[in-house]
Chains A and B, each alone.
Chain A
Amino acid sequence: MLVATCNVCWAQEDEKWQEPGKATVAYQEYREKITKPPYGLEKVSLLIKKIKDDDESATLPQKDYLSLSLREKFTYHMIHAESYSQNCDAMPPVPESEKKIFAQLPDPFGEYSWSERQMNYFKANRDTMVALMTESIGRSNRVGVNYKKAIVEINGKEMIPLLISTYNRDHKDKDILTLLMILMKNNEYTPFLTSASYKKLFADAETSYRAFLNFNTANEELIIQRATTFYNGLPKKG
């Protein structure tokens, strides 16, 4: 069909779009930062550069992959995703995101996501991943978005005390609160599943992936208190 209209759309002068404020832009950049593990970082970065020079693939050849040590593989997975992702939106910066606790975490790798080989590594080396991330977070006092996603993937619920103590250092990274809620949701923790927060963030049929709670001290304390109680109720290892 022919669309013969040259000027079919409209604007309302009183609804002009506001550029996100500096604080929002800065917080969005902060949210999207990944943590780069130190284990063989230089070697792994060079291998990744080699892959990226080849436009056709995002995957490290198996021979090179197998030559990496366990820790180097961890670094590779944490800084590079081999497969593709598809998103309905490019996840724009939400106005005043620094004042929100979101239901979902941002994408660490844009249009890429972890491949089956990478997820298999996560499953096979769960305890190693917990140990390496714990060491790395303890050193940097930072939980990059790649670590947060990995903690979700491996269901790293034993890391809850570390996550809370990291959050409490400066109360800045509200995605840690998001991560705590995702862990409670994924582990079907009843007090959370029956809460108003869960309903607003995850259970409403109209809920979109951009659902959020407004940040305030009461919300913050409630999430931390619930996550702590959830953690304390977990079976402890021998």
Chain B
Amino acid sequence: MKAGYRDHPAYWAFVLHRVSGVVLALFLPVHFYVLGLALDDASVLDGFLAWTESAPVAFAEAGLVVLLAAHLTGGLRLLAVEFLPWRDGQKSLIAIAGGVSLCAGLMFLLNAT
């Protein structure tokens, strides 16, 4: 039997939620460590922050912003599915979550560059 469940948007919403969750979890210690650089020597953090303004890093950061927004909107969808009365239009909710996430990334990128 073919894996027919993969044809449903909710499967891909699950995959995106899982992948974004793992990436964000791995990013968090790095994020906190870098912020902690300020405590010992501000110039080290300043050097790092200057590096983040280069175009490739800004694009990577925008990618992280999209993943964060996607995990947020996907998570809100899950909370709604679990705690609110069932309603139709799950695919619409997934589409809205995706749209909002891309908007967040675009806003970040436009402001960062």
Q: Do A and B bind each other?
A: no
Residues of A within 8 A of B (CB): none
